[in-house]
Structure 1
Amino acid sequence: MKKDKNILVVMPVKDEHKKTLEQHSQGNKFIYSSYDNVTQEMVQEANVIIGNVDPFYLQEAKNLEWLQLNSAGADPYVKKGVLPEDVILTNATGAYGPSVAEHMLAVLFSLQKKLHLYRDNQNQCEWQDEGGVMSLCGGTLLIVGLGDIGLYFARLMKNFDYHIIGIKRRPGQVPQDIDELHTMDDLDKLLPKADVVLSVLPDSKATRNIFNKDRFEKMKNTSILLNAGRGSAVNTEDLCEALIQGQIYGAGLDVTDPEPLQTQHKLWNVENVIITPHVAGDFHHPATLYRIVDIIAGNLQRYLEGEQLMNIVDTTTGCKF
Structure 2
Amino acid sequence: MTASSPNVLVILPLNDAQRARLEAGAPSARYTYVAAKPGAMLGEPSAEQVADADVIVGNVDPKLLAGAGALRLLQLNSAGYDNYLAAGTVPASAALACATGAYGQAVSEHLFAMLLAMLKRLPGYHELQRSHEWGDLGPVCTLAGANVLVLGTGDIGSHFARLCAAMGARVTGANRHGGEAPAGFERMVTMDELPQALGQADVVASFVPSTAETRGLADARFFLAMREGSYFVNGGRGDLVVDRDLVAALEGRHLAGAALDVTAPEPLPTNHPYWDAPNLLLTPHVSGGFHLPVVLDNIAGIAAENLAHLTASEPIRNEVRH
TM-score class normalised by the smaller sequence: over 0.9
Query: Which residue is equivalent to 1:32?
Result: 33
Q: Secondary structure at the match of 1:274?
A: strand
Among candidates 161, 166, 191, match of residue 159 of structure 1: 166
1:148-190 superposed Cα distances (whole Å, 9 cap, x missing partner): 0100111111112211111122343321221111221111221
Q: 1:149 to 1:4 in 2, by over 3 A?
A: same
The equivalences for 1:58-207 within 5 A come to 58-207=65-214
Give yes or no for contact 1:235–1:257 (8 Å, CA) kept in 2.
Answer: no
Aligned counterpart, 2:18: 17
Per-residue CA deviations over 1:103-154 (Å, capped at 9, x if unaligned) read 1111001000110111112122222222221123111111111110100111
Q: 1:57 to 1:191 in 2, by over 3 A?
A: same
The number of residue pairs the alignment matches comes to: 315
Q: 1:60 deviation in Å?
A: 3.2
Aligned-residue RMSD, C-alpha: 1.7
- Change in CA separation of 1:242 and 1:74 when aligned onto 2, cut-off 3 Å: same
Identity of aligned residues (%): 40
The code of the aligned residue for 2:17 comes to E
Q: Give the TM-score normalised by structure 2.
A: 0.92
Quick one: which amino acid aligns to residue 234 of structure 1?
V
**Residue type at the aligned position of 1:52:** N
Residues 111 and 295 from structure 1, CA distance in 2 versus in 1: closer, same or farther, beyond 3 angstroms?
same
Residue of structure 1 in register with 2:62 after alignment = 55
User: Deviation of residue 14 (structure 1)?
Assistant: 1.6
Deviation, structure 1 residue 248 = 1.3
State the Cα deviation string for residues 174-223 of structure 1 (Å, max 9, x = none): 21221111221111221111111111011122211110111111111211
Contiguous gaps of at least 5 residues in structure 1: 316-321
Q: Residue 75 of structure 1 contacts residue 203 of structure 1 at CA under 8 Å; is this kept in 2?
A: no
- Larger CA deviation: 71-80 vs 210-219: 71-80
The equivalent of 2:39 in structure 1 is none
2:241 aligns with 234
Runs of 4+ aligned structure 1 residues displaced above 4 Å come to: none
1:272 corresponding residue in structure 2: 279
Question: What secondary structure does 2:74 align onto?
Answer: strand
Preserved contact between residue 11 and residue 43 of structure 2 (Cα < 8 Å): no
Determine the structure 2 residue equivalent to 1:251: 258
Measured in 1, the distance between the counterparts of 2:66 and 2:284 equals 29
> C-alpha deviations, 1:255-306, integer Å up to 9, x for none?
1111111112121111211111111111111222212212221221111111
Q: Which runs of 5+ in 2 are unaligned?
A: 37-41
Match of 2:48, SS state, is helix
- Report if aligned partners of 2:44, 2:60 keep a CA contact under 8 Å in 1: no
Partner of 2:6: 5
Distance 1:130 1:74 in 2: 43
After TM superposition, give the deviation of residue 36 of structure 1 in Å.
4.5
| Residue aligned with 2:255, SS | coil
